[in-house]
Amino acid sequence: MYKCTHCGVLACIDEHPESTPKNCPMISEGLLEDSFSEYEKDENKNFHIKSTEIEAAGYGQWPRVREIVEFSKSMKYKKIGIAFCLGLHEEAKILDRILVDAGFDTISVICKTGGTAKEKIGISDDRKVRPGTFEPICNPIAQAKLLNEQQSDFNIVVGLCVGHDSMFYKYSDAMVTTLIAKDRVLAHNPAGAIYCSNGYFKSKISDKQ
Ligand code: SF4
């Protein structure tokens, strides 16, 4: 089983590595070659090159939102989809303005589109955030299909929930990037829990003490 997380050798960042760990995934030469034949496909080739170039172009200078704008310009995208969470409506509106100012057409779809009660998918009242009230489901498949219908060139996720984001990625026809990863506790900075995982957040990360 591969465990790059535990590797102290990092032969993969060495131009002429002297040795690799025993369980290094780089021993799978066939698989690595296969991934290059995928990069060569028309649907991936330019996308991969541009994403690699954008990393260097604004390295340490551009915030992620600027990287998304510059990347989208370099890909010559015209129509950008925004799939956003109700809880980040304001942030999505600001993103929309930034994209329009940069010359893009935008389409945006909120997570609650459809206004469908949670009961419809079998969620009982006691498993709602606020029992006794009407709570609509998040509807990531519809978000993706609505953006597909509008033929967005590229989609941006703004704060979709864990799992709902995965379904959006699965059903989106266009490639997707995430601007904001939702974290209701940490002002959408999930890395904060990792940084404090041995301290203040230890008891919040797991039930095990
Ligand atoms: S690819 Fe190999 S050398 Fe690189 S981190 Fe993983 S195990 Fe280590």
CA–CA separation, 199 vs 26, rounded Å? 35
The two structure tokens encoding residue 125? 């009242």
Nearest atom, ligand 1, residue 20 CA: 3
Name the DSSP letter for residue 133: S
Name the DSSP letter for residue 157: E
- Vertex 111: Cα angle to 132 and 96 (nearest 5): 135
In the chain, the domains with their CATH numbers are 77-209 (3.40.50)
What was the pLDDT predicted at 209? 61
What was the pLDDT predicted at 191? 98
Nearest atom, ligand 1, residue 17 CA: 3
Give me the half-sphere count of Cα atoms (radius 13 Å) on the Cβ side of residue 56: 4
First-to-last CA distance in the chain? 28
Global pTM reads: 0.95
Instruction: Please give the chain's pLDDT, 209 residues, in tens.
Output: 999 999 999 999 999 999 999 999 999 889 999 999 999 999 999 999 999 999 999 999 999 999 999 999 999 999 999 999 999 999 999 999 999 999 999 999 999 999 999 999 999 999 999 999 999 999 999 999 999 999 999 999 999 999 999 999 999 999 999 999 999 999 999 999 999 999 999 999 998 86
Alpha carbon of 35 to ligand 1 centroid (Å) = 17
Ligand 1 neighbour 10 (Cβ under 6 A): yes
